[in-house]
Structure 1
Amino acid sequence: MFLAIDAGNSNVVFALNDGVKKTWKNHFRIETHTSKFAAQLHKKVPLYFLEHDISPGDIKQIGFSSVVPEINEQIFQFCENYFGTQPYLVSPASFKKLPIRSLRPNEIGTDLMCNVMAGFSKYRTPLMVVDFGTALTFTAVDHTGEILGVNIVPGLKTAIKSLFTNTSKLPDVPLKLPKSALGKNTIHAIQAGVLYGYTSLVKGMIETIKKETKLEFTVIATGGLAEILTPLEAVFDETDRNLTLEGLRLITLANT
C-alpha cells in the first residue's frame, strides 16, 4: 500500500492507496496547529491502523507533502519508528522530473504542485485547479504543462473566522448554503453573505482568468469544502477530493 501524508495549515491528512486499483481509502486527519500534535500523531495513527486491521508492514511507500515545515521532523521520526521507513518529502527538487513546470519552483506550494500534477496527468489540456482549503487557490496550467500563475484568496472557514475575530456578539455559523441570498436572521445572513459571495467570487475569478489567458480550461475543484457551494457544480468539469493525494502519489513515484 501507498500512504499519502498531506500536511496542510489546518489538518494533516493521511490516506491509503491500495496500489492495485489505484483507489483511495481510509482517510483520517489530525489537527495541525496544536501543542498536542506529536501526542495525537503517536496515538491516532496506530489506533486507526489497529481498528481497520491494517499492519504497518503493509505500507510499502510513503509520500509526504507539507506546507507546515515545523512539523516535518515529527512526521519523519514517527514514520521511521512506526512504519520502519522514511517518507519521500516533495520539494522543489521533485519538480524536475514532472511533465509540469513552474518558473518559480521555490515559491509554489507543494500541495498546488500535487494538484496540477494529478489534473494535468489525467487531461493533458489547459487546466485550472480550484482548491477549497484554508486558502482558496486557483492554479492555471497551459497545454504544455507550464504553470501560468496562481491566485490566492482567504478560504471559506478563514473568512468566517476573521468575521468572528473582529466582530463581537456573532453566533457560531455552520458552513451550509441557505436557500435564499437574503438572510432572515443573523446566522442565515452570514451564511448567505459568505457562501453566495464566494460562489460569485469563484465564477468571476474563473472567467477573469479565462479572459486574460484567452484559454478554455478543464476546471477541477478539490479540497474539503469543494462540495459546499452547490451552485458551482456546473462550473466545474470535475470535483475530486483526492486530487492532492493522487498528485502526491504520482510525484513520489516519479522520483523514487
Structure 2
Amino acid sequence: MLVVVDIGNTNITMGFYKDDKLIDNYRLTTKFQRTSDEYGVMIASYMNAIGYKMADIEDVIISSVVPKINYSFSSSIIKYAHVTPTFVGPGVKTGISVKIEHPSSLGADRLVDAVGAYYTYGGPCIVIDFGTATTYDVVSEKGEFLGGATSAGIGITAGVLSSMAAQLPEIEIFKPDRIIAKNTVKSMQAGVVFGYIGQTEYIIKQIKEEYGDPHMKVISTGGLGKIIAHETDLIDIYDPDLTFKGLKIIYDKNKPQLKK
C-alpha cells in the first residue's frame, strides 16, 4: 500500500492507494504540538478501522507546507510503519518545469496540484486550490508551471469578518438563495460566497486573457472548492482527489530511484 500525504496549514490529508487505486482517505487537523507517537497511534487506529495494519504500508510520499511538523510526522512513519517517507522537494522528479522567479520558493502543494492536473487532464490549464489560501496557477501545454495568483481562502475571508468586527458573528460557509439578505448571518454569507464566486470568475477571465487562450481547462480542488465550483460555469472540473493524484504520479516517476 502506498500512502500519499498532504500536510497543509489547516489539515493533514492522507490517501491510501492499493494496486494503483485510491481506496480511502483520512483527514486530521494540523497541530504543531503533536508528537510522533500521537501521529503514529492516530494513523494506526485509522488503518485498523479500514481493515489494514501499519505493516501493510509499503511506501509514503509527502507534500508539506508546514516545516515544523515534518520531523514528528516523518518520525511516526519510520517508527510505526518502518518506512522512510519521501518528501516532494529538490531532487524529486515531477515532470513539470517550473518557470518562475526563485523556483525553490514554490510551495510543494501547488506543484503537486499542477502535476495532478496536467497529467490527468492535460494542458494548458488553470489549477485552482481552494484551501487556507486560494491559489490560481497556470500550467502550459508543454507542462511548464508559469506562475499564478494567491488570495485569502474563503474560510479566512469569513473568519476575518467576525474577528475584526465586534458585532458580526461566526458563520457557516453557505450560499443563501438571495444576495439581498434580510439578516446579519445571511448578509455575511451572501457577501462572502457571492463575492468569492465573483473573484474566482474575474481571475479566471484575466488569466485566460493574459495567457491568450480562452479555451484553457480550469480544474479546481480543495475542501471548500465544491461550493464555488458548482456556482460557476467557468470551472470545468472539480476534483477533490487532485492532490492525491499528483502525489501518486510523482511517486511513480521516482519509484525506480526510491526502490534502489
TM-score bin, normalised by smaller chain: over 0.9
Does structure 2 retain, via aligned residues, the 8 Å contact 1:224–1:241?
yes
For residue 60 of structure 1, report the CA deviation from its aligned partner: 1.3
- Per the alignment, residue 173 of structure 1 pairs with 171
- Per the alignment, residue 164 of structure 1 pairs with 162
Does structure 1 retain, via aligned residues, the 8 Å contact 2:96–2:145?
yes
Cα deviations by residue, 1:87-127 (Å, 9 ceiling, x for unpaired): 11000332xx3331113420111111111111111233201
Q: For residue 159 of structure 1, what is the amino acid of its counterpart? A: T
Does structure 2 retain, via aligned residues, the 8 Å contact 1:90–1:252?
no
Cα deviations by residue, 1:34-88 (Å, 9 ceiling, x for unpaired): 5346564233212111222211121111110100001100111100111110111
Does structure 1 retain, via aligned residues, the 8 Å contact 2:113–2:246?
yes
Whole-Å separation in 2 of the counterparts to 1:170 and 1:37:
37
Q: TM-score, normalised by structure 1?
A: 0.93
Could you say if the C-alpha distance between residues 189 and 122 of structure 1 is closer, same or farther in structure 2, counting changes exceeding 3 Å?
same
Does the alignment pair 1:10 with 2:10? yes
Give the 5 Å matches for 1:208-227.
208-215=206-213, 216-227=215-226
Whole-Å separation in 1 of the counterparts to 2:232 and 2:174:
15
Secondary structure of the residue aligned to 2:168 is coil
Could you say if the C-alpha distance between residues 149 and 10 of structure 1 is closer, same or farther in structure 2, counting changes exceeding 3 Å?
same
Whole-Å separation in 1 of the counterparts to 2:217 and 2:53:
39
- Per the alignment, residue 245 of structure 1 pairs with 244
* Count of residue correspondences: 252
Give the 5 Å matches for 1:122-161.
122-161=120-159
Whole-Å separation in 1 of the counterparts to 2:232 and 2:112:
22
Whole-Å separation in 2 of the counterparts to 1:42 and 1:98:
28
Give the 5 Å matches for 1:58-73.
58-73=56-71
For residue 24 of structure 1, report the CA deviation from its aligned partner: 2.2
Q: 1:99 aligns with which of 88, 92, 95?
A: 95
Q: TM-score, normalised by structure 2?
A: 0.91
Secondary structure of the residue aligned to 1:229 is helix
Q: CA RMSD in A?
A: 1.6
For residue 128 of structure 1, report the CA deviation from its aligned partner: 0.7
Cα deviations by residue, 1:124-161 (Å, 9 ceiling, x for unpaired): 32011111000011010111111121210000111111
For residue 26 of structure 1, report the CA deviation from its aligned partner: 2.4
Q: List gaps (5 residues or longer) in structure 2.
A: 256-260
Could you say if the C-alpha distance between residues 200 and 62 of structure 1 is closer, same or farther in structure 2, counting changes exceeding 3 Å?
same
Secondary structure of the residue aligned to 1:106 is helix
Q: For residue 5 of structure 2, what is the amino acid of its counterpart? A: I
Q: List gaps (5 residues or longer) in structure 1.
A: none
Q: What is the aligned-residue identity percentage?
A: 29
Does the alignment pair 1:53 with 2:51? yes
Secondary structure of the residue aligned to 1:174 is coil
For residue 219 of structure 1, report the CA deviation from its aligned partner: 0.7
Secondary structure of the residue aligned to 1:85 is coil
Give the 5 Å matches for 1:100-119.
100-103=96-99, 104-119=102-117
For residue 167 of structure 1, report the CA deviation from its aligned partner: 1.2
Whole-Å separation in 1 of the counterparts to 2:75 and 2:210:
46
Q: 2:202 aligns with which of 201, 204, 217?
A: 204
